[in-house]
Amino acid sequence: MVGSQLVGRGIKNKAVLDAMRIVPRHLFVDEAFAGQAYGDSPLPIGEGQTISQPYMVAAMIEALGLTGSERVLEIGGGSGYQTAVLAIVAWKVYSVERINRMAVKARRILDGLHASNVVIRIGDGTLGLPAEAPFDAIIVSAASPEVPEALTRQLAEGGALVMPVGGENKQSLVRITKSGASLRRETLAGCRFVKLVGKHGWQ
């Protein structure tokens, strides 16, 4: 998976590649899909949600430019797979998931992997976690018509936010970098994600 799907497609960050080698992806999918866990595609995880393809997970985390000392906010924790990768490459991860069943299952798997630097909260991810802000990096694993202002407000100076933005069926992966009062926006690639549901996303 790492050699063909990640290195072969331009992922260079050593910490990200090492983390993707370590985290057992098959633990985060239903048993019926375990044989496809390391394939180059997203997989259903129930409740209309998916676990992103390995390349997209790696590309989004690499785009954050993490060095290992950051506090990261993850919106849409889902299965907990991306959370587990983040837990290796960042100092602390705050993950928000709106579906209780998924959050509970992810916590159980992460505990089994001794990911003690992960905090999981159940709630509306479009609101972020203002009580824990600011965050050095924010990663959003679902698509919104626009970047929620509530999230950019919680981004630390010099921090980066990576998320898919666009319509229901087609989006662009964007990176927002905060510098003082200004927000620099870059388009990284085309993508397709499930909807970000919440007050500042899809209703």
**Residues annotated as catalytic (active site), given as ranges:** 52
Neighbour tally for 52: CB within 10 Å: 24
| Helices 81-89, 100-112: inter-axial angle, 10-degree rounding | 50
CA proximity to 42, closest of 79, 2, 9: 79
Burial of 199 from C-beta contacts in 10 A (0-12 / 13-18 / 19+): exposed
Contact 174, 194 (CB under 8 A): no
